[in-house]
Amino acid sequence: MPSHDTPLPPGRHALALHGGAGTIARSSAEAEAPYHAALRAALAAGDAVLSSGGTALQAVVAAVVALEDCPLFNAGHGAVFTADETHELDAGVMDGRTLAAGALAGVTTLRNPILGALEVLRDGHCVLMGGAAAERWCAARGVASVEPGYFSTAQRRAQLHAARARDRDRAVLDHTGASTKMGTVGAVALDRHGHIAAATSTGGMTNKRPGRIGDTPLVGAGVYAHDAGCAVSTTGTGEHFIRGCVAHDVHARMVYAGLPLADAAHRAITESLAPLGGSGGLVAIDRQGRIAMPYNSDGMYRAWLREGESARSAVFDDAI
Amino acid sequence: MPSHDTPLPPGRHALALHGGAGTIARSSAEAEAPYHAALRAALAAGDAVLSSGGTALQAVVAAVVALEDCPLFNAGHGAVFTADETHELDAGVMDGRTLAAGALAGVTTLRNPILGALEVLRDGHCVLMGGAAAERWCAARGVASVEPGYFSTAQRRAQLHAARARDRDRAVLDHTGASTKMGTVGAVALDRHGHIAAATSTGGMTNKRPGRIGDTPLVGAGVYAHDAGCAVSTTGTGEHFIRGCVAHDVHARMVYAGLPLADAAHRAITESLAPLGGSGGLVAIDRQGRIAMPYNSDGMYRAWLREGESARSAVFDDAI
């Protein structure tokens, strides 16, 4: 049993995050080093919140902001391009203490979509808002905007062009066979007050059809948190996560089938996602600070820490 | 035990639908008669599909098209107005045989949003699409469009003005206290081949904030179908259904807690929806043709039939 699958003493905090899962080619330690550094920087951002007595909700947002700001990951700055060579960003956040949730779909100008999702949660009027009306509402509430070009990077544009070249040879897009890793970032946390939360943010799929909304902003698919069970953030082939309600499925397997977190998370991937042809993974945490990070793709960028233990990060099965 | 809570002999079909739940004032039989007639006409449309050997997926879409076309219900023609005096329509459909799903959020020109959702399902590339890009895609695929004025009725405009007058006296919108019934229509079906499906369609909440996406098009919240458990269509205060993942919750209580459909559906309302402050109901069906229609609002427009039994319709606890 990995060390992160045991209960923590009460009052300690814990945090796990991911920077996407998918087809990731093994490369040199030097090439992977920037990813580990970025994951650990995001971990540190969330840990700073938790260590000072902040809430799990605040911590997952802080960690996701750090991941959105990093161009290595497909969310915020560094988001992938749609087929129209634009960016459409989705984000969602949920508080396991109150089951309050906020999410945005298809926004194009919010610097940190997760901060817009948090504003939706705090306002409490809606859970999910989409498109230009959602952006206008967020901007009026003071959520920072940028020009769409802010999100663009040369690497992502090259990926789009490569995806288009591939697609010219195909009758149907095959996301799961894309050679680029899938996007999405996310975090789950347990705070010292004993509450959990989850947050997820993404630029979607390279070359995605404009108007497509993936699993990321959908409560129960890409993000879910309930103190009675677990907090979950997913990443992978979004449509399969929607159809399998994968985030809520982990929770349901815990509270209805009585499974421990690790089993519930593993079975959500192998029994609810994989049979649909889905590929990807998730990070999950429960109120005892147990952490599960199953995936059925080649790898998943991830990092985690539990108060009193060393921080860890991993891309494949071997953590550093 | 109501007669619709027993298993049907194999090979028989069944269908249940709703036309919304909420605060419904009891009125005369004469005033209620058009609702019963409309519900039964929609039931007949779905039954015609099932009786001729059609699939559950085709039947729920046929029933929902009939409800969308009827101005009495808040979907399609007769949809409520947003705060901007426009219409933003959501719809979703799911096939329990394959777990294929299709949904649209915030469309404004599709005559029957459920037919657009079905087109998304059939295409198979996305599950959920939103806004103008989704409409353009649907129109290019031949889904019928109308001028937005098609959806407007004098009654809905009067409701908007009444809602605005109420809201001027309040700091915060209180949807659950609205005196008008909540919208949304939906259907679930079992076909003779032993498969189930669900479909849901809505105009949202009167006076809703533009950009708001409710539970209706969200797999697991407003619509869900899985042959291993049940098919579900929900109606009520959407944000609570999203936070409780109510449609998937019914399924999860069946397959993970081992509850029969009636108990799973009842508990989803009383244990997953009501504690959040949510109000509304759902219709659900399993592969044995059992039907459950729990609600915690004053009433829910609903109708159901099982092959070999008489069709029934109801608004409150007494069916006719």
Nearest Cα of chain A lies from the Cα of B212 at a distance, in angstroms, of: 4
Supply the ipTM of this predicted assembly: 0.93
User: A129 contacts in B (CB within 8 Å)?
Assistant: 209, 211-213
Which residues 58-77 on chain A approach chain B with CB closer than 8 angstroms?
Answer: none
What are the beta bridge partners of residue A286? A230
Supply the pLDDT for residue B77: 87
Distance CA A258, CA A262 (A): 12
Distance CA B259, CA B267 (A): 10
Higher-confidence residue: A177 or B240?
A: B240
Tell me the three state secondary structure of residue A285. strand
User: Is the CB of B131 less than 8 angstroms away from the CB of A131?
Assistant: yes
Supply the pLDDT for residue A115: 98
Supply the pLDDT for residue A31: 86
Higher-confidence residue: B231 or B131?
A: B231
Q: Would you put residue A249 in left (φ > 0), alpha (ψ -120 to 50) or beta?
A: alpha
Supply the pLDDT for residue B172: 36
Contact A185, A64 (CB under 8 A): yes
Instruction: State the catalytic residue, choosing from B55, B109, B180, B184.
Output: B184
Supply the pLDDT for residue B268: 98
Which residues have CB under 8 Å from B275's CB, separation 6+? none
Q: How many CB atoms lie within 10 A of CB B15?
A: 32
Supply the pLDDT for residue A19: 96
Distance CA B258, CA B256 (A): 6
Supply the pLDDT for residue A176: 35
User: B167 contacts in A (CB within 8 Å)?
Assistant: none
Regarding pTM above 0.90, the answer is: yes
Tell the burial category of B288 from Cβ atoms under 10 Å away from its Cβ (0-12, 13-18, 19+): middle
Instruction: State which residue of chain B sits closest to A217, comparing Cα positions.
Output: B218
User: B252 contacts in A (CB within 8 Å)?
Assistant: 248-249, 252-253, 256
User: A94 contacts in B (CB within 8 Å)?
Assistant: 243
Instruction: State which residue of chain A sits closest to B127, comparing Cα positions.
Output: A239
User: B257 contacts in A (CB within 8 Å)?
Assistant: 256-257
CA distances from B239 to A17, A58, A103, B48 (A): 26, 22, 11, 34
- Does A294 touch chain B if contact means CB atoms closer than 8 Å? no
User: A252 contacts in B (CB within 8 Å)?
Assistant: 248-249, 252-253, 256
User: Is the CB of B132 less than 8 angstroms away from the CB of A221?
Assistant: no
Which residues have CB under 8 Å from B142's CB, separation 6+? B119
| Mean pLDDT of the B158-181 span | 58
| Mean pLDDT of the B91-104 span | 98
Distance CA A313, CA A303 (A): 4
Supply the pLDDT for residue B170: 44
Which of B219, B226, B253, B259 should we substitute to test contact with A (largest number of A Cβ atoms within 10 Å)? B219
| Nearest of B242, B278, B299 to residue B22 by alpha carbon | B299
Supply the pLDDT for residue A28: 84
Contact B212, B204 (CB under 8 A): yes
Q: What is chain A's length?
A: 320
Nearest Cα of chain A lies from the Cα of B258 at a distance, in angstroms, of: 8
Nearest Cα of chain A lies from the Cα of B196 at a distance, in angstroms, of: 15
Nearest Cα of chain B lies from the Cα of A119 at a distance, in angstroms, of: 14
Supply the pLDDT for residue B80: 82
| Closest CB to B220 among A106, A134, A245 | A245
Higher-confidence residue: A108 or B196?
A: B196
- Does A127 touch chain B if contact means CB atoms closer than 8 Å? yes
User: Is B184 a catalytic site residue?
Assistant: yes
The whole-angstrom distance between residue A181's C-alpha and the CA centroid of its chain comes to 14
Supply the pLDDT for residue A157: 86
Supply the pLDDT for residue A3: 65
Q: Is the pLDDT of residue B294 over 60?
A: yes
User: Is the CB of B126 less than 8 angstroms away from the CB of A212?
Assistant: yes
Nearest Cα of chain B lies from the Cα of A318 at a distance, in angstroms, of: 32
Supply the pLDDT for residue A210: 87
- What is chain B's mean pLDDT, rounded? 91
Which of B107, B121, B213, B263 should we substitute to test contact with A (largest number of A Cβ atoms within 10 Å)? B213
Distance CA A182, CA A44 (A): 24
User: Is the CB of B218 less than 8 angstroms away from the CB of A218?
Assistant: yes
| Nearest of A293, A255, A264, A252 to residue A15 by alpha carbon | A293
User: Is the CB of A218 less than 8 angstroms away from the CB of B213?
Assistant: no
- Does A218 touch chain B if contact means CB atoms closer than 8 Å? yes
- Does A245 touch chain B if contact means CB atoms closer than 8 Å? yes
The whole-angstrom distance between residue A108's C-alpha and the CA centroid of its chain comes to 18
Distance CA B20, CA B42 (A): 14
Supply the pLDDT for residue A267: 98
Supply the pLDDT for residue A1: 42
Q: Residue ranges of chain A with pLDDT lower than 50?
A: 1, 170-179
The residue ranges of every structural domain in chain B are 14-314
Which residues 132-151 on chain A approach chain B with CB closer than 8 angstroms?
Answer: 132-134, 136-137
- Does B253 touch chain A if contact means CB atoms closer than 8 Å? yes
- Does B213 touch chain A if contact means CB atoms closer than 8 Å? yes
Tell the burial category of B7 from Cβ atoms under 10 Å away from its Cβ (0-12, 13-18, 19+): exposed
Return the structure tokens found at B165: 């007058």
| Mean pLDDT of the B203-213 span | 84
Supply the pLDDT for residue A168: 60
Q: What is chain B's length?
A: 320
Each residue of B31-76: pLDDT tens digit? 899 999 999 999 999 999 999 999 999 999 999 999 999 999 988 8
- Does B127 touch chain A if contact means CB atoms closer than 8 Å? yes
Higher-confidence residue: A164 or B228?
A: B228
The CATH number that domain B14-314 falls under is: 3.60.20.30
Sign, Cα dihedral of A143, A194, A46, A39: negative
| Mean pLDDT of the B271-289 span | 97
Q: Is the pLDDT of residue B171 over 60?
A: no
User: A248 contacts in B (CB within 8 Å)?
Assistant: 220, 245, 248-249, 252
Supply the pLDDT for residue A24: 79
